Structure formats: C-alpha cells, structure tokens
Amino acid sequence: MATPAAIHPRETPPALPSGSWLVPLSRAVIAAVVALVITFSSDHSPSLGLTAFAAYALIEGAIQLVWGARNVPARFGRGATRAQGAIGVIAGILALIVLLAIPSAHLVGLLALVGGWALITGVLELVGGLRARGRLGNARDWIAVGGFTLLLAIAVLLVRPEFVHNFGGDGKVPPGVLNASIMTVGLFGAYAAIVAAYQAIAALSLKWAPTEKSVPAVSVSKGE
C-alpha cells in the first residue's frame, strides 16, 4: 500500500515590501544634497561641517528610524535599524546644540560627533548586513554602506584637532593651508558622494530585482 510523503521546498528568503527600494533612494538623495553643498562651498569651516552633518544625520536617521525599520523583517535586524536611526537623530541634535550654543567647541564637536556616529552606525549596518547575507536582497548594500561608514570613522578619528599644514607660496602653487576642519569636512563630503551613488544604484537594483517565487510542496508515493 502506498503512503503519501511531502517533499518540502528549501526555505526561501522573506520577500521585501514592494516599496523597500525607496528607502535607499531617499538616503541617496539626502547624501547627494550634502555632498553637493560641501563640494561647491569654499567654506570648509567647523560651522559648515556641523550644519551639513546635523542635516544629514537628522534626516537620514529619521528615514531609518521611521521608514527603514518597517521594510526590514523582524528577525533580520529591525531593532538594529531603529537603533541606527535613533543614534543618527541624537547625533544630529547634538551637532545643532554644539553649533548654536558652544562656539568654542565647534572643531572638537565636529570631530567627535562625526567620528562617533560613523563608528556606531557603521558597525550596526555592517553587522546587520552580515547577519542577513544570502537571506535578504539588500544585505550586500548594508555591508557596503556599513564598510564605507566605518572607513569614515577611522579617517576622522585619526585627524588631530591641532593639525595645520601650510603649502604652496613658491611661485608655482598659490599659498594655502590644510587643517583639521578642512580635512574633516572634505572627508564627510567625499563619504556623502560615495554613499549617494551607491545607494542610488542599490535602490534601482531593488526596484528591478526579479521577485522570487516559492516552489509548492510536491507529494509523491512511497511504496511499501
């Protein structure tokens, strides 16, 4: 007598919501705006750096906290995404406080806030991507952006507040100066440009990615 036995398909990754591609796209837009402001500004002072960072951290953090977490399956780091967003919002608020209330701490505040924010959020995004690797379509994007953010953290945390380097003035190159503020604002602008390009590509990849369809269970007969 034959008895039915079910062959169950291999577990497929959870499908992302149809609008999940808008999250990296919105992150790309704010990063692009910040990159353009820094690139076309001749002022690379701590005040500009704090202003640009506050705007970026607040908006990007709010996107992750409110919208990004809704597009992450619970078992693949929704809590970490919310934490990443909350840290961004807090860092943005602290940047505004330093900018408006503590003029003497503009440079130190810029270095500490950008470096600290990049270190914590970079680790969160990188670890979240590694945990979801092979199981979520956007895991590789998290890994890449988390890696970029950690590189920013390392670069900024290595900048000494007292760093000043004079160059030029030899008749061939106009005299100029490179200091900690110019380096930090420039690094943050370069980071924003890279993230903007990568997130835009990631958004389009998610939008155009084919939807995986699960294979139904198949019943076969097992002879005695």
Please report whether residue 2 resides in a domain.
Answer: no
Please report whether residue 220 resides in a domain.
Answer: no
Please report whether residue 86 resides in a domain.
Answer: yes
Task: Provide the domain count of the chain.
Answer: 1
Query: Is the four-CA dihedral 61, 149, 82, 73 of positive or negative sign?
Result: positive
CB 155 within 8 A of CB 190: no
Residue 50 Cα to chain centre, angstroms: 18
How does pLDDT run across 33-71, given as a tens digit for each residue? 999 999 999 899 999 999 999 999 999 999 999 887 777
Q: Please list the rounded mean pLDDT of every run of 10 residues in the chain (224 residues).
A: 43 60 94 97 95 98 87 72 95 98 97 98 94 81 96 97 79 76 97 97 84 40 42
Please report whether residue 178 resides in a domain.
Answer: yes
How does pLDDT run across 14-31, given as a tens digit for each residue? 556 667 888 999 999 999
Q: Which long-range contacts (CB under 8 A, 24 or more apart) does 80-83 make?
A: 80/124, 80/125, 80/127, 80/128, 81/124, 81/128, 83/124
CA distance 167 to 183: 14
Closest of 27, 60, 44 to residue 110, by C-alpha? 44
CB 207 within 8 A of CB 26: no
Please report whether residue 11 resides in a domain.
Answer: no
Please report whether residue 9 resides in a domain.
Answer: no
Please report whether residue 4 resides in a domain.
Answer: no
Phi/psi of residue 177, each to 5°? -140, 140
Please report whether residue 223 resides in a domain.
Answer: no
User: 81 lies in which domain range?
Assistant: 17-202
